């Protein structure tokens, strides 16, 4: 896939405001103009719909009112069982008018539970799922709960699509961004309109993180030319471009539901993905010098990878390291993402997870899976993800090529290894931010973290989060001290129930022999736990000690199970 224009170049591409007259005429019954519930009902056969955990159940986000935001009684996500042209299905629709369609605790629990129920054979399933994706990604007011929810949504899609199609629809005008862009990249079949957009980082986030030299967020023509429905279908990152018309969309979804499950999905086409990346020329050095870059780079990931590795490190590429470690007599594979100041991709030179990093991780993981495929579960090598990722790459060339897709490849690979019986252990030693953590660590059976102030887990850097939520840095900092899922402290993150062990060490930047012994012991126990636990992520829904912090999640799960 060749890139033939710069981010600032004006390209004449149809946008929602300049469609051809014939398109406007045919689109008079607009699918886009419907709200989330209206879109779901427009696809379903009349009289077959049954909404689950709807507004009359009254389960609202417990985190919004204290931030001056009025919660919504369905939390902006609609789940309806019914039939589409006579075919049973579950429709999961995001209401973009509430909180920008962003995913929080309640909406995330509804989507995860719906996918889990759709997969279960003993509850009338499996059922295909239709995902109506109009979303900005994680709801920053519930940051870490939303981030974890998206990781579980990804796992749910990967489990269901082995049995039934998972059809994604991005109609516009909001588009699909953030971690939900990864979700879109995992769908069996993806349908878009001309006015829709699909990306990992939105233009405003990139501009906030990297500066206007990277992308001018007001340049609509460049944005739609790179991330709009027409471009994504042409590049093979979406399957079908349809007009903004209710009946046309219904026909497209019906045909997609008839697809047979297959072992070959877009997120598993690693050779094709490598070809896309290798045929793209990165930005000239002269342009790179004008970009904003991080002022410092963490070395913790590299430090701990080198300290734990017992033989010479293998560098599949300069920014991805692979080592080996024996735990209780069993060989384990260590993978980490580190800085590469000489990277051709300047937005991924400081430890960020970019195009090259996501692809190489996926390739290394699948190589281990193929090598061990004939071994018994007890013999399969554990994969240990050393996590110190400041984020995904905030670059426009990455978004043009399809960073959301490459990160979906990494998510798919980790989940494939886990479902094949490989214990997946994440060890967070530094930062674990946003899509970087989703793609490298959050599909783990077990998540461990150093108990240190330098360990931070969050959905977005603070400056970008302030811009998106329209708050000052001071106001955001105050909220992060008082609203548990917004906190960047690893101790608070552990209270949400996603951390299987906090490990105390003397010096996280220069680990001593006793520090290494503590971590090896913790990793050994984590591997033992992973070997006897379910292969899916259902262990995260077994609440021990976090009943107060995730009470809404439990209520959603119980209500949907009773109504299904």
- Ordered by start, the domain boundaries in the chain are 29-198+238-258, 270-533
Q: Which pairing describes strands 87-94 and 77-84: parallel, antiparallel, or unpaired?
A: antiparallel
Task: Name the pLDDT band for 328 (thresholds 50, 70, 90).
Answer: confident
Q: Report yes or no: 523 and 448 within 8 Å, Cβ to Cβ.
A: yes
| CA angle, residues 72, 559, 113, in degrees to nearest 5 | 85
Measure the CA–CA gap between 393 and 407, rounded to whole angstroms: 11
pLDDT band at 253 (very low <50, low <70, confident <90, very high): very high
- Cβ atoms of residues 181 and 198 within 8 Å: yes
**pLDDT at residue number 71:** 94
Whether the upstream peptide bond of residue 126 has omega within 30° of 0, thus cis, is yes
15 pLDDT above the threshold of 90:
no
The rounded radius of gyration (Å) of the Cα atoms in the chain is: 22
Distance of alpha carbon 170 from alpha carbon 158, whole angstroms = 19
What residues have CB less than 8 Å from 441, skipping those under 6 apart?
Answer: 385, 387, 389, 426, 428, 432, 447
Do 29-198+238-258 and 270-533 agree at the fold level? yes
Distance from C-alpha of 446 to C-alpha of 424, rounded to nearest angstrom: 7
Beta strand 240-242 pairing with 314-317: unpaired
Read off the pLDDT band of 548 (50, 70, 90).
confident
Give the model's pLDDT for residue 23. 38
pLDDT at 296: 56
Tell me how many helices (H) and strands (E) the chain has: 21, 15
Report, as an integer, the average pLDDT of 551-560.
94
Q: For residue 168, what are the β-bridge partners? A: 131, 190
Per-residue pLDDT of 492-526, as tens digits, reads 999 999 999 999 999 999 999 999 999 999 999 99
Q: What's the pLDDT at 545? A: 56
Are 485 and 142 in contact by the 8 Å Cβ rule? The answer is: yes
pTM of the entire structure?
0.92
For the segment 403-456, what is each residue's pLDDT rounded down to a tens digit? 999 999 999 999 999 999 999 999 999 999 999 999 999 999 999 999 999 999
Nearby residues of 28 by Cβ (< 8 Å), 6 or more positions away: 245
**Among 96, 102, 116, CA closest to 61:** 102
For 71-118, give the DSSP string. Answer: --TTTTEEEEEEEETTEEEEEEEE-TTSGGG-B-HHHHHHHHHHHHHH
Task: Please give the Cα distance from 169 to 133 (Å, whole number).
Answer: 6
For residue 264, pLDDT beyond 90: no
Average pLDDT of the residues of the chain = 89
Check: CB of residue 53 under 8 Å from CB of residue 61. Answer: no
Dist CA 137 CA 142 (whole Å)? 11
User: How many CA atoms are closer than 13 Å to the CA of 343, on its beta-carbon side?
Assistant: 24
99: left (phi over 0), alpha (psi -120 to 50) or beta: left
Cis peptide before 494 (omega within 30 of 0): no
Mean of pLDDT values over 28-33: 87
29-198+238-258: CATH number: 3.90.226.10
Domain 270-533: CATH architecture, name and number where available = Alpha-Beta Complex (3.90)
The whole-angstrom separation of Cα 41 and Cα 155 is 26
How far is residue 539's CA from residue 160's CA, in Å, rounded to a whole number? 18
Pairwise CA distance, residues 110 & 156, whole Å: 12
Q: Is the pLDDT of residue 8 over 70?
A: no
Q: What confidence tens digit (pLDDT) does each residue in 116-173 have?
A: 999 997 767 799 999 999 999 999 999 999 999 999 999 999 999 999 999 999 998 8
What is the reported pLDDT for 535? 94
pLDDT at 518: 97
Residue 9 sits at φ, ψ, to 5 deg, of -75, 135
Strand partners, 53: none
Distance CA 313, CA 349 (A): 20
Percentage of the chain surpassing pLDDT 70? 91
Tell me what pLDDT residue 51 has: 97
DSSP SS3 for 200: coil
**Alpha-carbon span 134 to 229, nearest angstrom:** 13
In this structure, the number of other CB atoms found within 10 A of the CB of residue 512 comes to 12
Three-class SS of residue 22? helix
Q: Find all residues with CB under 8 Å of 535, minimum gap 6, and list them.
A: 418, 419, 421
Residue 544's pLDDT is 59
């Amino acid at each position: 896939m060749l890139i033939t224009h710069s981010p600032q170049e004006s390209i004449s591409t149809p946008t929602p405001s300049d469609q051809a007259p014939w398109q406007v005429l045919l689109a008079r019954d607009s699918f886009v103009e419907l709200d989330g519930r209206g879109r779901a009902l427009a696809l379903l056969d009349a009289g077959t719909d049954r909404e689950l955990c709807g507004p009359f159940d009254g389960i609202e986000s417990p985190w919004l009112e204290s931030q001056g935001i009025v919660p919504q009684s369905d939390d902006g996500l609609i789940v309806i069982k019914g039939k589409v042209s006579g075919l049973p299905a579950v429709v999961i629709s995001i209401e973009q008018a509430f909180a920008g369609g962003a995913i929080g605790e309640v909406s995330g629990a509804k989507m995860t539970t719906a996918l889990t129920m759709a997969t279960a054979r003993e509850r009338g399933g499996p059922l295909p799922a239709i995902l109506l994706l109009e979303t900005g990604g994680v709801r920053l007011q519930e940051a870490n709960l939303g981030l974890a929810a998206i990781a579980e949504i990804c796992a749910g899609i990967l489990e269901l699509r082995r049995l039934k199609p998972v059809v994604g629809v991005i109609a516009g005008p909001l588009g699909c961004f953030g971690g939900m862009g990864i979700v879109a990249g995992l769908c069996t079949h993806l349908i878009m309109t001309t006015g829709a957009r699909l990306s990992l980082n939105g233009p405003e986030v990139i501009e906030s993180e990297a500066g206007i030299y990277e992308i001018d967020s007001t340049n609509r023509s460049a944005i739609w030319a790179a991330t709009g429905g027409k471009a994504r279908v042409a590049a093979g990152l979406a399957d079908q471009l349809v007009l903004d018309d209710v009946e046309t969309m219904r026909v497209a979804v019906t045909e997609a539901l008839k697809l047979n499950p297959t072992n070959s999905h877009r997120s598993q086409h690693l050779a094709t993905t490598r070809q896309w990346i290798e045929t793209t020329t990165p930005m000239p050095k002269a342009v790179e010098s004008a970009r904003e870059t991080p002022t410092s780079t963490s070395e913790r990931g590299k430090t701990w990878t080198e300290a734990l590795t017992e033989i010479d490190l293998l560098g599949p590429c300069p920014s991805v390291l692979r080592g080996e470690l024996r735990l209780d007599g069993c060989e384990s594979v260590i993978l980490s993402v580190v800085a590469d100041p000489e990277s051709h991709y300047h937005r991924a030179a400081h430890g960020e997870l970019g195009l090259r990093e996501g692809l190489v991780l996926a390739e290394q993981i699948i190589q281990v899976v193929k090598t061990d495929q004939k071994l018994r579960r007890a013999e399969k090598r554990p994969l240990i993800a050393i996590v110190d990722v400041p984020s995904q790459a905030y670059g426009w060339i990455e978004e043009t090529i399809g960073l959301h897709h490459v990160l979906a490849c990494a998510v798919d690979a980790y989940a494939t290894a886990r479902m094949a019986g490989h214990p997946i252990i994440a060890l967070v030693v530094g930062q674990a931010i946003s899509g970087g953590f989703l793609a490298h660590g959050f599909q783990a059976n077990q998540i461990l973290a150093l108990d240190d102030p330098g360990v931070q887990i969050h959905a977005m850097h603070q400056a970008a989060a302030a811009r998106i939520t329209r708050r000052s840095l001071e106001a955001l900092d105050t909220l992060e001290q008082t609203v548990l899922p917004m906190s960047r402290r690893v101790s608070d993150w552990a209270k949400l129930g996603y951390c299987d062990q906090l490990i105390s060490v003397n010096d996280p930047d220069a680990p001593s022999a006793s520090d290494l012994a503590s971590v090896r012991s913790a990793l050994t126990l984590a591997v033992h736990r992973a070997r006897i636990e379910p292969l899916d992520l259902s262990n995260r829904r077994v609440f021990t000690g976090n009943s107060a912090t995730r009470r809404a999640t439990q209520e959603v799960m119980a209500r949907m199970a009773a109504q299904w």
